[in-house]
Amino acid sequence: MIREQIDRLLDQVSKPARYMGGEMNSVIKDHTKVALRYVFGFPDVYEVGMSHVGSRILYDIINRQEDALCERVFMPWVDMADLMRQEGVPLFSIETRTPVREFDMFGITLQYEMSYSNILEMLDLAGIPIHSADRTWNDPIVIAGGPCAFNPEPLAPFFDAFSIGDGEVNILETVECVKRAKAEGISREECLFRLSQLPGVYVPSLYQEEYHEDGTLASFRPIREGVPATVKKNLVLDLDAVPYPENIIVPFMEIVHDRINIEVLRGCTRGCRFCQAGMLYRPVRERSKEHILSLAEKLVSETGYDEITLSSLSTGDYSCLPELAHEMVEKFESQRVSLSLPSLRLDSHLKSTLEETQKIRKTGLTYAMEAGTQRLRDVINKGITEENLLSSVTDAFSSGWSSVKLYFMFGLPTETYEDLQGMHDLAEKVVHCYFSIPKPQRSKGLRVNCSASCFVPKPFTPFQWEPQDTIEVFNEKTKFLCSIMHIKGVEFNWHTPEVSFLEACFARGDRRLAKVLEAAWRKGCRFDGWTDQFRFDLWMQAFEDCQLDPSFYANRRREKGELFPWSFIDAGVTESFLWKEKERAMEAIVTPDCRKGCQGCGLKRFHGACTDR
């Protein structure tokens, strides 16, 4: 019956391929022949979620098990979601169109704070009570992971559990725990307690918080004996030793990253002080060149894609990159499979590597300068110079590129208007680099795309104590940037501060924000990361209704020693290290890359995780 209902809906919505299923390499198993059924949810549309590497990894790991299955579900676009409500069609999996509520586990990845309202929408569409306390064994165990799980508190009432850190470590342990609990017939509450005993698993219903009169957190503690006071992140030490998909699902429609994506390394040692991922995913762990080549060969054979991306936080830091790029280009040149390299460091010596990758097809080049002046780049510990940029783009232009992207942030701690002027100056110098190349040696059609995003202070970074600029200040800075970025060949884009303001609220939020999130969702908020759907007025009404001040979360400077909502999580880096880095930032002192010597961030407490290089 549900299949026929869905088919009727697909004739009435945009992009029906989002919901069709049946893609090449998708895994379909008999639900009656497995002991546990897992559905993996991505709280955004299909084309965004299908581009997420982590989801593909966990989908593959579960489906390799004979007694378990994993299917996928994505947030339906507004036309489909509205029709589903009208017609009484529950949220369903892509593979078999099984109602999500009928699965044993519902895993959701938390990639971006502005997807939170979509999570409540998905739970409600599925017919699952949005509050963990209201669920029974007729509902799946709802568990979350991903970078935003490192501050799970704004979502605490809505999830049964959170998995902190690398998902490969305990995904099968959580599956086995729930499977065994159901087989033994124990209570749901006892199952959650057992989950809390697994490394890296946080069960919010087993903890209680208290607040000072000024609204800051006073205490946070377990309420049951045996529940850990500190949750330590899970960490994969050897990437070659954990599974990686050897075939991937090939969509019927174009997705955001419509290509083979191979993670070559995880983590970053550069220590950019604004970058949460660079702190959370320490230390650097590399896949071997041989493993990557083997994966590439299998994935090209199994998918037919004609482009491979080597992905990571900083692909230019991969120790064997020149050799790997050469061998991959050589291996796939006859098949016209191109190679793209995102996340390049400007101080990497990659000219020969870039020349290798353009043999088949030129792909875009992106340079993340982050700040317009050297002083501010030293504050944020970016560790690159103007000379690095100009040398790199000159090499690129002389090698045939004519299009580059420059990424900046504005609103960074200690920023001045001189730093904003520096963005203009750098863009102008990049244009001059292009015209310094003799005409016969340069490609036509110069395009320099400059993008400026609003700084958002994040947990587990040296700037977690810093206030975010107010919306009014961001707007003033945006007007200034727009007035100076009129340069021939340069296109300037910027992010709206209202979205970044809410992102900052939830990035550093506590459990009290859960009621704001629920209130905003009930007013109709969803797809808050999409400009045409974002309703800032409804969010401000929700804050007012809940008698909470959003500036308390976004624009307030934290004091040393303040207890954070995420302080119970051990992410590897210590708070003392982060505070020291904050102090160095205020003095614009650069901290060297820890590959050049240990900087004492705390990761050595994780056995085997970090060694001097």
Please give the share of the chain, as a percent, with pLDDT higher than 70: 95
On average, the pLDDT of the chain sits at 94
Whether 74 is covered by a domain: the verdict is yes
* Residue 238 scores a pLDDT above 50: yes
Backbone φ and ψ of 380, nearest 5°: -90, 0
Report the 10 Å Cβ neighbour count for 281: 23
Q: 239-283, pLDDT tens digit by residue?
A: 999 999 999 999 999 999 999 999 999 999 889 999 999 999 999
Distance CA 123, CA 544 (A): 25
Domain-located, residue 70? yes
Is the pLDDT assigned to residue 401 strictly greater than 60? yes
Residue 252 has a pLDDT of: 95
Rounded mean pLDDT, 82-87: 97
Confidence of residue 346 (pLDDT cuts 50, 70, 90): low
Q: What's 108's DSSP letter?
A: E
Say if residues 421 and 441 touch (Cβ distance below 8 Å).
no
State how far the Cα of 50 lies from the Cα of 248, in Å rounded to an integer. 10
CB–CB of 468/505 below 8 Å?
A: no
- The angle at the Cα of 18, spanning 17 to 24, to the nearest 5 degrees, equals 65
Residue 152 lies in a domain: yes
In a domain, 500, yes or no: no
Report how many domains make up the chain: 1
Tokens matching residue 89: 């069609």
Burial code (b: 16+ CB inside 10 Å, e: under 16) for 465-477 equals bbbbbebeebeeb
Whether residue 348 has pLDDT greater than 60? no
- Taking phi over 0 as left and psi of -120 to 50 as alpha, with beta for the rest, 561 belongs to left
Q: Which of 19, 71, 262, 40 is nearest to 146 (CA)?
A: 40
pLDDT-derived band at 19 (thresholds 50, 70, 90) equals very high
Nearest to 423 by CA among 495, 343, 485, 345: 485
User: Would you say residue 136 lies in a domain?
Assistant: yes
Question: What is the distance between the alpha carbons of residues 554 and 30, in angstroms, rounded to a whole number?
Answer: 48
Strand ordering across the sheet containing 338-340: 260-263, 307-311, 338-340
pLDDT of residue 613: 40
Residue 64, domain extent: 2-232
* pLDDT band for position 460 (cuts 50, 70, 90): very high
Give the list of residues 6+ apart from residue 213 with CB closer than 8 angstroms, or none: none
Residue 508 has pLDDT above 90, yes or no: yes
pLDDT for 355 equals: 61
Amino acid type, 286: E
Task: Give the lowest-confidence range in 33-42, 305-314, 446-455.
Answer: 305-314
Residue 149 DSSP one-character state:
G
Instruction: With respect to residue 257, please indicate whether it lies within any of the assigned structural domains.
Output: no
Say which residues have a Cβ less than 8 Å from residue 175's Cβ, sequence separation at least 6: 36, 38, 62, 65, 68, 105
Give the residue among 351, 367, 349, 369 at the shortest CA–CA distance from 419: 369
pLDDT band of residue 610 (cuts 50, 70, 90) is: low
Is the pLDDT confidence value at 15 over 60?
yes
Please report the pLDDT score of residue 206 as a whole number.
98
Would you say residue 347 has pLDDT above 70? no
In a domain, 325, yes or no: no
pLDDT of residue 612: 45
Measured CA to CA, the distance from residue 310 to residue 296 in angstroms comes to: 10
Model pLDDT, residue 357: 62
Domain membership flag for residue 200: yes
pLDDT of residue 213 exceeding 60, the answer is yes
Q: pLDDT-derived band of residue 361, with 50, 70 and 90 as boundaries?
A: low
